[in-house]
Amino acid sequence: MTRLLDIRNASRRFGGVLAVNDVTAHVDEGELVGLIGPNGAGKTTLFNLISGFTPLSSGTVAFGGRPLAGLTTNQVARLGMSRTFQNLRVFPNMTVFDNVSVGAVGALPQGALGALFGGLSESGRQRSADISRRTWEALEAVGLTQVAGELAANLPYGQRKYLEIARALAMKPRFLILDEPAAGLNDTETRDLAAFIKRLHGQGLTVMLVEHDMTLVMGICQRILVLASGRKIADGTPDAIRNDPAVLEAYLGVDA
Amino acid sequence: MNVSDLTAPGQTPSGLTAPDRRRGWILPALVALAVFVALPAALAAFDRGYFYQIANLALIFVLLSASMHLVTGVAGLLHLGHAAFYGVGAYTAALMTSKLGLGFTVTLPASGLVAAAVAFLVALPTMRLVSIYFAVATLAIGQMLYLVMLNWVEFTKGPNGVIVTKGFELFGFGLSGRIAAYYTVAVVVTLCVVAIGRLSHSYYGNALRSIREDDQCADAMGVRTVRLKMEAFTLSAFFAGVAGALWAHMTGYISPGDFKFSESILILAMVVVGGLGSLPGAVIGALLLILLPEGLRGLGDFRNVMVGLVMFLSILLLPKGLLGEVSALGLVRRQFGAAWRRTAGGEGIGWR
């Protein structure tokens, strides 16, 4: 297996707070990895370090063998890493189709000249057609083709979650990071989502999910990373994590 | 994966109607007929210079409003200094004519390019600013450019303004008659509005919209946000500069007062009244806010109160504008058959 994401001694300091403290971890190609931890453990910060949202204070992050230091968020995204957000960030005043097309046009940029004169050349028409096809495929993967013309703001909450995932999929990423995908979903919806994530993984996509919902993570992930107070305290299979004394202490506060 | 596997044939996603290719050309054809046949015929029948002036002015403001639509409506950057770039274009045309003796064929593209170059330079430091801070920066830039026009007397002739010695021409052929001037303005404005339409009704336009909606999120989707914001700002300045050249050659005299802050606000009002993010709305807004005060001339100074009232009521009753973005995009998609292919579920949704 090839190493897709390689985090070495990553730290991030916010003023006096070490939000992420000397974390070393990795994700291999084709894995489905969970990242869990109590509130304030540094999950989202680590996530932001990986996706280039926040610069590292020290350490390195490499994606596909390439160090990410100095790259902007959109450059990291175009390397093939796409994400969703903890607090649902769809583009409310755009249609479902247009929302998803942003992921496609992000990965396959169309410039101003392409927009102006693309219709006149074969390659320009091909670019638009590719963006359109990717958008449809992503919409189809999440089952939102029937509402493609609706405004994103008018979708129910559960569908907006899938819309966000479709937008990330339209980039045809190598690595998909889902930030708390089950937040706000009921049990049935969470089960459906778990099955959907498993299906994506089954199609060969490497996935990492940051999650509070333990049943979701334990149920589908092959390997789980546990953060507490900015440090990595465990890394192993769901079974190993379930019985790890350090994890039990971090979550329940019991002396093991 | 294949779209047609999932969507049953003949089913159309809700909220959409399949485009009819033949019917799709009716609206553009009617607009072209009005601009290039009906209106010039009416102008020629009345044959009053004043009517020509109003028609040209309205067209120039249609271009200004459309160019602001690109940066403020689509890319979501609140621009409070747009009139200054209009002024840069007008001064470029006027000074190239009076000092270098160049004609409209050269000054038209030059005005657009100079305005775009100035916009690019001022955009470099300001593009990382967001929301209201960006708006204040553009306000300051507009005021700076206005003060340069007003106070750099040896170059711009200051408050005295510049007399533009040449009217419209094309490669040396004079286009100075009233009807020829009207056609010149109409052709240039139409070409520019079509270009702005291509920019805003495309996947490029979608990327710009995503920056308006949530720029951090757009960034995470691989959209080059800073670069695209600069492009939108620079392109809109280019079109404003072209409008400036039209104005300079049309009136034959320009002065800094034509490009002050209140003009920027007037253009902004056109875009907002018409519908933020809607190109047809920007055109309608410009026509309304130019033609209404002229139509109400009989009321004397009271007409300004009436114009204010119309603006107030339209914002109160139609906060999304006379023709809001959602309906405008739907209209454009239907009329121009923007779907790139006829799939079972996707007719009229994608851009070509």
DSSP 8-state assignment for residue A80: T
CA distance B171 to chain A (A): 25
Give the residue from chain B lying closest to A167, CA to CA: B221
Name the pLDDT band for B52 (thresholds 50, 70, 90). Answer: very high
B352/A125 touch (CB, cutoff 8 Å), yes or no: yes
Q: Is the pLDDT of residue B7 over 50?
A: no
- Out of B209, B219, B235, whose CB is closest to A112? B235
- Angle at which helix B279-295 crosses helix B49-68, to 10 degrees, equals 150
- Dihedral sign from CA coordinates of B1, B6, B9, B11: negative
Which residues in chain A touch residue B222, judged by CB atoms under 8 angstroms apart? 74, 77-78, 82, 103, 106-107, 109, 171
DSSP 8-state assignment for residue A136: H
What value, to the nearest 5°, has the Cα angle with vertex B210 and ends A49 and A53?
A: 10
Q: Are B103 and B172 in contact (CB under 8 A)?
A: yes
Instruction: Determine the pLDDT at residue B22.
Output: 54
Phi, psi of A167 (to 5 degrees): -60, -40
Backbone region of residue A143 per phi and psi (left: phi > 0; alpha: psi in -120 to 50; beta: other values): left
B220/A82 touch (CB, cutoff 8 Å), yes or no: yes
CA distance A102 to chain B (A): 6
Instruction: Determine the pLDDT at residue B329.
Output: 86
CA distance B334 to chain A (A): 12
Average pLDDT for B136-160: 92
Give the residue from chain B lying closest to A154, CA to CA: B15
Average pLDDT for B280-284: 95
**ipTM, interface predicted TM-score of the complex:** 0.91
The helix (H) or strand (E) run that includes residue A17 is strand A17-28
Would you list the domain boundaries of chain B?
19-260
Residue with tokens 């996935």: A207
DSSP string, B229-256: HHHHHHHHHHHHHHHHHHHHHHHSEE-G
Interface test with B, best of A94, A123, A165, A169 (most B CBs within 10 A): A94
Domains of chain A (ranges; CATH) run 1-80+208-256 (3.40.50.300), 81-172 (3.40.50.300)
Q: Measured between alpha carbons, how far is B148 from A108 in angstroms, rounded to an integer?
A: 42
Question: Count of H helices and E strands in chain A?
Answer: 10, 10
Q: Are A115 and A167 in contact (CB under 8 A)?
A: no
Q: Is the pLDDT of residue B214 over 90?
A: yes
- Dihedral sign from CA coordinates of B220, B226, B229, B231: negative
Token pair belonging to B111? 């005005």
Closest CA to A211 of A202, A224, A200, A199: A224
Closest CA to A98 of A158, A144, A156: A144
Closest CA to B196 of B71, B284, B25, B77: B71
Q: Measured between alpha carbons, how far is A176 from A131 in angstroms, rounded to an integer?
A: 19
How many CB atoms neighbour CB A203 within 10 A? 8
A9: helix, strand or coil: strand
Q: Measured between alpha carbons, how far is B139 from B262 in angstroms, rounded to an integer?
A: 11
Higher per-residue pLDDT: B339 or A87: A87
- Out of B199, B203, B345, whose CB is closest to A116? B199
A95/B199 touch (CB, cutoff 8 Å), yes or no: no
Which residues in chain A touch residue B340, judged by CB atoms under 8 angstroms apart? 125, 128-129, 132
Q: Measured between alpha carbons, how far is A249 from A228 in angstroms, rounded to an integer?
A: 10
pLDDT, one tens digit per residue, over A9-41 is 999 999 888 999 999 999 999 999 999 988 888
Token pair belonging to A171? 């980039």
Interface test with B, best of A96, A98, A150 (most B CBs within 10 A): A98
CA distance A105 to chain B (A): 6
pLDDT, one tens digit per residue, over A233-250 is 999 999 999 888 888 888
Phi, psi of A103 (to 5 degrees): -60, -40
pLDDT, one tens digit per residue, over B228-250 is 999 999 999 999 999 999 999 99
A109/B224 touch (CB, cutoff 8 Å), yes or no: yes
Q: Measured between alpha carbons, how far is A96 from A73 in angstroms, rounded to an integer?
A: 23
- Dihedral sign from CA coordinates of A165, A168, A174, A176: negative
pLDDT, one tens digit per residue, over A173-204 is 999 999 999 888 899 999 999 999 999 999 99
Residue with tokens 């060969």: A204
pLDDT, one tens digit per residue, over B96-117 is 999 998 999 999 999 999 999 9
What value, to the nearest 5°, has the Cα angle with vertex B182 and ends B179 and B184?
A: 110
Instruction: Determine the pLDDT at residue B1.
Output: 39
A77/B351 touch (CB, cutoff 8 Å), yes or no: no
Residue with tokens 């940051």: A210
Q: Is the pLDDT of residue B340 over 60?
A: no
Name the pLDDT band for B9 (thresholds 50, 70, 90). Answer: very low
CA distance A117 to chain B (A): 8
Cross-strand bridge partners of residue A179? A210
Instruction: Determine the pLDDT at residue B110.
Output: 97
Question: What's CA B296's distance to the chain center, in Å?
Answer: 24
Q: Measured between alpha carbons, how far is A103 from A98 in angstroms, rounded to an integer?
A: 9
